[in-house]
């Protein structure tokens, strides 16, 4: 036990009336945490006076020997303890009177190995007999400017997306206490003057915390807390049908849609002007989406122009319906040959497009086909070529046509030609079978006799 002060009640006067100070001290020890109760030294009543003692091994010094810097630290400690004591003893009617002392000489301090100052008061709850009631030694000391050990601390709180935390509530953790505060429109707040070299922390209500050490060279402490968001991308084709099990490369990572055509991201930290880039590698179709804070605003859509395919059957024929075997047909930019019936079956054409089917030898003869999904059919009608014919007419002496009369044309160095007259006495042969100036012998049988005539 170490005595810090002794005084006769003739020289000091009770501030708290009708109370036993020893009992008050016992109550302080019981109701206050140690960090606050040690502000009050133990009082021992000695007849017409009292003695104020401490029961620890700290080395105590009177306020009068403190340096200017130590006096500022003492004032800071007194301010913290006063605020805490009055908050915890708010229901005690004489709580404020506990912090009344006769003079600064009743203030003692000690320092630990880290330079932290703790303060103990003697003669608490007493004043000088002739002093005025409004004299408050401790409040006057706290009010003095502190320019040696404290610095103004201003903070600005922003989020990871670069926006300020405007008019939002946070907590200041200082000296083991947590004090709520609210930022202004710009996300700023002045924490007041804090001790240089001391640590403080700013925390949000989501478990995030940023710690700092008070540095007189720092004008503004910047606090950044993460903002988390997520997104989903609905992939559908041009008919608004969801594309399940569809793969996009999103920000360089392959991601596959679920059965509903959705790609869903996990939560991630949002950064300023953050975008998501989705690419379909096969078509090189790319979409860029700007992210918002609210995941409900991050519902995006990726429209895939899906290709549908069809088949095409082509029938090549003359106007009378006769098919043209082995006929060359141009379909689009490619040529194909019809089968022995003049038919073509083609596959792999993109649906919902128009393709041209044309005579490979006469591209002016064509038909445009609007390809539907599935099977398609069309006809390419080829005009029969005009053939020049040689007509041979047979009649009797009266000029009547000789019907159904067989005849033979004999030609040199070429095969003979045979034919039968029609109802008009005519028989026709392609002109291309004859050469200019060629001599031909015609023979026919009429009433059982053959007649020969050179033509």
DSSP code for 401: B
The pLDDT tens digits for 138-155 are: 999 999 987 777 888 999
Per-residue confidence (pLDDT) for residue 438, from 0 to 100: 77
Per-residue confidence (pLDDT) for residue 195, from 0 to 100: 82
Angstrom distance (rounded) from CA 369 to CA 97:
103
Pairing between β-strand 374-381 and β-strand 309-317 as defined by DSSP bridges: parallel
Angstrom distance (rounded) from CA 147 to CA 333:
89
The length of the chain in residues reads 455
List the chain residues with pLDDT less than 70: 131-134, 445-455
Angstrom distance (rounded) from CA 342 to CA 115:
106
Domain range 150-226, its CATH number among 3.30.420.40, 2.60.40.10, 3.40.50.1360, 3.90.1570.10: 2.60.40.10
Per-residue confidence (pLDDT) for residue 433, from 0 to 100: 83
**Domain limits of the chain?**
2-143, 150-226, 229-304, 309-381, 389-454
Pairing between β-strand 221-225 and β-strand 150-159 as defined by DSSP bridges: parallel
Q: Is the pTM of this model over 0.75?
A: no
* The domain defined by 229-304 carries CATH number 3.40.50.300: no
Per-residue confidence (pLDDT) for residue 119, from 0 to 100: 97
Which tokens in the block code for residue 359?
């005579």
Q: Are 124 and 34 in contact (CB under 8 A)?
A: no
DSSP code for 119: E
Angstrom distance (rounded) from CA 52 to CA 41:
6
Distance set, CA 70 to CA 74, 76, 136, 150, 191 (Å):
6, 10, 20, 12, 22
DSSP code for 53: E
E-only strand ranges, 29-116: 42-46, 49-54, 61-62, 107-111
Per-residue confidence (pLDDT) for residue 442, from 0 to 100: 81
Domain range 309-381, its CATH number among 3.90.1150.10, 2.30.30.90, 2.60.40.1120, 3.40.640.10: 2.60.40.1120
In terms of Cβ atoms closer than 10 Å to its own Cβ (0-12, 13-18, 19+), residue 23 is exposed
Which tokens in the block code for residue 343?
């038919």
């Amino acid at each position: 036990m170490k005595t810090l002060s002794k005084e006769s009640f003739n020289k000091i006067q009770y501030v708290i009336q009708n109370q036993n100070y020893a009992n008050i001290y016992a109550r302080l020890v019981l109701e206050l945490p140690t960090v606050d109760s040690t502000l009050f030294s133990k009082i021992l009543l000695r007849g017409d006076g009292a003695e104020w003692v401490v029961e620890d091994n700290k080395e105590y010094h009177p306020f009068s020997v403190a340096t200017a810097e130590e006096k500022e630290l003492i004032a800071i400690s007194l301010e913290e303890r006063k605020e805490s004591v009055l908050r915890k003893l708010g229901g005690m009617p004489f709580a404020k009177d506990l912090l009344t002392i006769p003079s600064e000489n009743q203030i003692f301090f000690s320092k630990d190995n880290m330079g932290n100052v703790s303060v103990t008061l003697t003669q608490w709850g007493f004043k000088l007999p002739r002093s005025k009631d409004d004299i408050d030694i401790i409040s006057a000391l706290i009010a003095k400017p502190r320019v040696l050990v404290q610095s103004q601390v201003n903070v600005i709180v922003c989020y990871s997306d670069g926006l300020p935390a405007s008019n939002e509530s946070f907590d200041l953790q200082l000296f083991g206490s947590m004090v709520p505060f609210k930022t202004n429109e710009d996300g700023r707040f002045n924490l007041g003057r804090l001790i240089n070299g001391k640590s403080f922390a700013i925390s949000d209500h989501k478990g995030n915390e940023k710690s700092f050490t008070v540095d007189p060279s720092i004008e503004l402490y910047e606090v950044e807390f993460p903002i988390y968001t997520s997104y989903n991308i609905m992939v559908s084709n041009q008919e608004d049908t969801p594309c399940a099990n569809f793969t996009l490369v999103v920000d360089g990572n392959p991601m596959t849609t679920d059965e509903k055509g959705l790609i869903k991201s996990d939560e991630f930290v949002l950064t300023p002007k953050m975008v998501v880039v989705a690419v379909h590698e096969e078509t090189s179709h790319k979409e860029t989406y700007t992210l918002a804070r609210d995941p409900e605003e991050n519902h995006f859509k990726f429209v895939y122009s899906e290709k549908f395919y069809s088949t095409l059957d082509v029938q090549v024929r003359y106007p009378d319906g006769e098919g043209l075997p082995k006929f060359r047909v141009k379909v689009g930019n490619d040529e194909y040959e019809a089968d022995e019936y003049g038919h073509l079956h083609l596959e792999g054409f993109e649906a919902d497009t128009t393709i041209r089917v044309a005579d490979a030898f006469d591209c002016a003869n064509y038909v445009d086909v609007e390809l539907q999904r599935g099977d398609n059919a069309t006809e390419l009608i080829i005009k029969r070529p005009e053939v020049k014919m040689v007509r041979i007419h047979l009649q009797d002496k009266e000029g009547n046509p000789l019907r159904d009369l067989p005849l033979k044309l004999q030609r040199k160095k070429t095969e003979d030609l045979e034919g039968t007259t029609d109802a008009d006495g005519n028989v026709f042969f392609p002109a291309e079978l004859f050469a200019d100036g060629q001599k031909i012998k015609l023979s026919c049988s009429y009433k059982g006799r053959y007649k020969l005539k050179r033509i």
